[in-house]
Structure 1
């Protein structure tokens, strides 16, 4: 059954049997309302990019997430 990115994130973060629950998530979406961002953060997203975006933004967000995960 299809699921949204948010549903996938919630599944991965909450399913105790899923062995990759610490995989980094960067949500890329057109949803820019503050409540969408907060819902994603509460679900455990590591970073959030609102469309449209450029390569520099993506690179910065990826580096930020990877730096945090290495700590």
Structure 2
């Protein structure tokens, strides 16, 4: 499965890559912000995106809106420090399929990925 990690923190992308590797995902593309991600999604064709909210150039919420406007249905999990309920609701309205608050454990991220993919396949 092809997964795109969109986060301005190289360390966070490395943590996510390690967890994804443990889960058996090896096709991973990285983007440092929303603009970088938009320039790469067409060629990479991800089957899942893990997107941070707070990034320079283009934040995660703006990226999600632009990506959805292009007609993409790919599942998106917002992985962020933004934990307020209003922010979660805002992200879901923008088209996010699931939400993980940092810091997270490998079990939490793995569980959300599994849950998200099961929900999308069932729909």
Q: Is this a same-fold pair by TM over 0.5?
A: yes
Q: TM-score range by the shorter chain?
A: 0.7 to 0.9
Deviations 1:16-40 (A, max 9, x none): 4xxxx11110000001111110100
Equivalent residue in structure 1 for 2:106, among 55, 58, 61: 55
CA positional deviation for 1:43: 0.5
CA positional deviation for 1:70: 1.2
User: TM-score if structure 2 supplies the norm length?
Assistant: 0.52
CA positional deviation for 1:15: 2.7
Equivalent residue in structure 2 for 1:11, among 56, 66, 74: 66
How many pairs align?
Answer: 67
State the secondary structure of the residue aligned to 1:37: helix
Unaligned runs of 5+ in 2: 1-34, 36-56
User: TM-score if structure 1 supplies the norm length?
Assistant: 0.86
Q: After TM superposition, where is structure 1 displaced by more than 6 Å over at least 4 residues in a row?
A: none
More RCO (CA 8 Å, sep 6+):
1
